[in-house]
Amino acid sequence: MLTRRSFAASAGIAAAIARMLPEMAYAQRALVQGDLPKDMVWLSANENPAGPPASSIRAMSEVLPSAWRYHYQEFRDFYDQLARSEDLSADRILVGAGSSEVLHAAVEAFTAPDRPFVCIHPTYEGPTEVARALGRTVIRVPLASNYGADVHKLAEAAEQSKAGVVYLCNPNNPTSAVTPKAEIAWLVNNLPAETILLIDEAYIHFGETPELETALVHVRQERNVVVTRTFSKIYGMAGLRAGFACARPDLIARLAPFRNNVISIVTVRAVLAAIAENQTLVPERRAALARTRRNLCAWLRERNVGYIPPNANFMMIDVGRDAREFVSRMPAMGVAVGRPFPPLDNMLRVTIGTESDMEKFREVFWKVYNG
């Protein structure tokens, strides 16, 4: 017989297993396993080969000998400096091990059995997977014709379902498309009073169009908006695991219990060094990435290969047939590319790496494209 206690225990074990496996799950989802070429070009996970800035590497080296301590007392200053870098006060941010952790916290804090999770489809799967693991109702609405969010459909779904969270990734992963600032503002003004708009800005620094604007303006106006950011992308620190959420202090207070302790002091020092130079680092990296992205777009256009106009450090290429063939064949030829993103079955998601990475990509892609 399944007693309440044994049910709770088994549910607890299932939840624990779900929490233990993400490393393996991510590796598996990337579909790149087995004997891999040593000089593999990694264009599968939207990482940034520019890596941590030199100042961050120096700062990390300096703190390593004292990494035996938690350094708890440094976190107040860390919060102050990080918040200031976005023109916020420290009570309006929450740091996590990557933005994954604070995204997960938001799903846990703001959805409930009667408060569903609403998102566009396809989009970044992390928050949806947490919602499913929690047994929440997940409602997915199709993309707009520009491959960004259809804000009217999102508002309608939120209204009908009494959503706890509407999740919107801008620019969207995997489409690299932007939801224009006016549409985000419309959504902020047209969601039910109890719904939280969770805006994932992991790739916001890579966009150049004036239509792309951070939703932090809505956080500063005290709206029901949580914005998440990460150091994994433009800052090139995916392996260091740092991200943060920005929101009104009362929303941050509801998120905080779902976090785990503090992040690594090595990561803290790397982040502090990076944000100290973000006024030059971010525009320089954005410009370099945009140059490489433009070159790839031009190369595709010359060959009449379609693509979704990109705004992030990855793009969707229309390969004209099931993209799974490229995903499975290219790694053996030295280039790892993104996984399938149904229903966009003919689209191949490719991370923009260095110029030489993309040279190799073009060579291998063209071989597979031509059979």
Ligand X SMILES: Cc1ncc(COP(=O)(O)O)c(C=O)c1O
List of residues contacting ligand X (CB under 6 A): 46, 98-100, 124, 126, 169, 173, 200, 202, 230, 232, 238, 243
CB atoms < 10 A from the CB of 219, how many?
A: 23
Q: At its nearest, how many Å lie between ligand X and the CB of residue 197?
A: 15
Give the nearer residue to ligand X in terms of CB position, either 190 or 264.
264
Task: Assess contact for 146 and 205: CB atoms under 8 A.
Answer: no
Q: Closest residue to ligand X, Cβ-based?
A: 98
Give the nearer residue to ligand X in terms of CB position, either 349 or 360.
349
Q: At its nearest, how many Å lie between ligand X and the CB of residue 351?
A: 10
Give the nearer residue to ligand X in terms of CB position, either 239 or 320.
239
Residues 6+ apart with CB under 8 A from 199: 168, 169, 170, 184, 215, 225, 226, 227, 228
Residue where the block lists tokens 């976090």: 259
Alpha-carbon gap, residue 193 to 265, rounded angstroms: 38
Task: Tabulate helix, strand, coil % of the chain (nearest 5).
Answer: 50, 15, 35
Query: Which residue in 117, 120, 97 sits closest to 19, CA to CA?
Result: 97
Give the nearer residue to ligand X in terms of CB position, either 327 or 368.
327
Q: At its nearest, how many Å lie between ligand X and the CB of residue 94?
A: 13
How does 334-345 read in b/e, with b if 16+ C-beta sit within 10 Å?
A: bbbbbbbbeebe
Give me 227's structure tokens.
């914005």
Give the nearer residue to ligand X in terms of CB position, either 30 or 290.
30
Give the nearer residue to ligand X in terms of CB position, either 158 or 202.
202
Q: At its nearest, how many Å lie between ligand X and the CB of residue 357?
A: 17
Alpha-carbon gap, residue 161 to 111, rounded angstroms: 12
Task: Assess contact for 218 and 189: CB atoms under 8 A.
Answer: no
Grouping H, G, I as helix, E, B as strand and the rest as coil, residue 316 is strand
Q: At its nearest, how many Å lie between ligand X and the CB of residue 321?
A: 25
Q: At its nearest, how many Å lie between ligand X and the CB of residue 36?
A: 20
Give the nearer residue to ligand X in terms of CB position, either 207 or 368.
207
Q: At its nearest, how many Å lie between ligand X and the CB of residue 9?
A: 30
Alpha-carbon gap, residue 47 to 313, rounded angstroms: 8
